[in-house]
Chains A and B, each alone.
Chain A
Amino acid sequence: MYNNVGAQPGVPRPPAISQPNPFGDTFYGAGSGLIRGGLGAYGEKILGSSSEYVQSNISRYFSDPQYYFQVNDQYVRNKLKVVLFPFLHRGHWTRITEPVGGRLSYKPPIYDINAPDLYIPFMAFGTYVVLAGFSLGLQGKFSPEALNWLFIKGLLGWFLQVSLLKLTLLSLGSGEAPLLDIVAYGGYCFTGLCVAILGRILFGYSYYFLMPWTCLCMGIFLVKTMKRVLFAEVRSYDSSRHHYLLLFIALAQFPLFTWLGITSVNWFI
């Protein structure tokens, strides 16, 4: 009955599914669509130069995001095991490369357990926000504004983690690792954090055991990963500086996790 009426475009209706819109196209298919369609268009407007220039710059900083979402259930399970119990990982930590179109590129996460992905960090971040909100509610201090505040705090923590890793890389003279790789490595910390907060919700005192444990595990994971990344990227091999920086990365996890684990609406209390 409503089919006839639905055909009238004079009626104020939301746009039909078949209409192309820039944001719809960018997320279809590979992530290069995002760069070409969305960012390329805006880059042209903003910079006024040719979109080729903007596109190449953005591609340098923002490698194809779709690569990081090629995951499946099995990868997610195994990667969680690697992140939460890195000392149990028997295999090597290097990423598998394959020649693609004349250049060497890394295999996508489905085929390589050591490849970083962005699905786990995003879901872990969301879980952190939800669990932190839950623990706030158990203390009786829940409000939607508090949840927004926790979201911002989590984002800030993620940003601090990423800048820590990036600065370490830069201080050794190489900043060539793709930004999204570093973002992914930084986001893995939220998995351990979620486990610790879940422990605190279920048994109050288990938090004091789980928190240092997950800090340690995250430290080991980051050290092992960054060692491989540094070996792959850095030209001059200065052993002692490498080791001090890796140790610093591992030790910096403790204050970061402690700060993120304080689920309250104030900065430090």
Chain B
Amino acid sequence: MRTMLLLSLVAVLLLAGCQSAEQADSDGASTPPDNASSSAAAESTGALEPVHLKYYFFGATKPGDEAVFAAINAILKKEINTTVDFIKVPNGDYTQKMSIMVNAQEEFDLAFTSPYYLNYFEHAAKGSFVDLTELLPEYAPQTYAELKPQIWDAARVNGNIYASINQQIFARQSGFSINKMLADKYRFDPASVRELADLIPFLEQVKAGEPAADTDQLYNAQMKNQVFTYFYPYYEWESIGGTDVPGIASSTEARPRVFNEYETPEFKSFILTLAEFQKKGLIAKDALTRPTFDATKYAAAPIATLMPGIEEIVKKTHDAEQYVIPLGEPILTSPNAIATMTAVSSTSRHPERALMVIEQLNTNKELFNTLVWGIEGVDYKKVGDNRVESLAGAPYSKAYGWMFGNEFNSYVSGTQPDDVWEQTKALNDSATVSTLFGFSFDPDSVKAESANCAAIVNEYRAAFNTGMYADETEQKYEEFLAKLKTAGVDKVLAEKQKQLDAFLAN
């Protein structure tokens, strides 16, 4: 009689148990399996055995994906007898999903990583990625030779390289774009702009002279969480361990001192100027809350990274001819050099094969361009030797070249000049290399202080960057600095200085 009751209970005990499964392995600290040696021997002898790999990166899936990935696998099969499952994850969830997979020690082979996506430093330090220091020159020699050893140093964590750098623009130079038509109309000389405040007279004239309906958002305050960091290359500053935690240093001094970027005259004048902008109605009144901005209304906008062909890009963005005003000299810092990388998971059974795929992605132009552009005639058409155009209604959406490998192998398109990659390479080579290049900060010992400071920064930053405090800006600024002090910013600065000194001493 009771069997039914008991049966159903047994079933439910099993199911409820799903939610309280073992805690083992969840901290991801356990040692990764060492498979490197086992299959390496087999592969060095003659023909490669067929291998299937999983490659995770972020992006939006499209119906044309399958056809493109099949075409790529045909190439990979021929070249290195390998097939790859290309798996896209929606970009907002990439870090979370991958972190759980890494912590659960799931088997996969390749993944996109950067300081911002699937935190490279954290995962390299805790052993989620395979140490590539020895494997890169052996299995991906051309990829390795493509970059100067100095650039590879940027990817070093505890002295080892844990990911392959996807080459793209490394040099950073910030600047402004100014609407050409308006500048000419009001006889404004773009070359006179040296800092943000220099824009005020021009924007005021535009505000007074143009119809009110078009002048509600003359200055771009859209990137309200970032704007101040745009200007770091100009000041020759460099953030250390992310942009949320205070404590930066000069990129060019021989003995850089770590300081609180918010306690500088530069920052103070920056936010006071923005408050001025807000009071004069040069920034959208509801910049903090508005869901969308109209880029065509901007008379002036800050630019984070100037690159070859930027004039055409901003022209497209703002739908009008622009003057581009560079600030300072281009500079090469480690966060920019390792902004886009491909790592091999320590759970991979075939790390050397994964590296061969990396080598293919970086050196095989046909393969790389299929991945980036899709299939010729279906997704794009060739309009020149090295120039293509996306076709309307293409089933595959063009991917970022820097996601997979050397972007300089990509076809050029649209507004890019034919020699855009030569120009970019030249810019990378000519840039001043930062003293801090290759330094990475380990935040472990000041975790709590860092988190507290980041919370305070995030509380104030957007309002400062849009000038929302207006007349109260100074008072709020003092309050902000005081709160940072209480949160332990000095301890964070001291720790950063300590690690930096140790780095420079080597």
Q: Do the two chains belong together in a single complex?
A: no
On A, residues with C-beta under 8 Å from B are none
On B, residues with C-beta under 8 Å from A are none
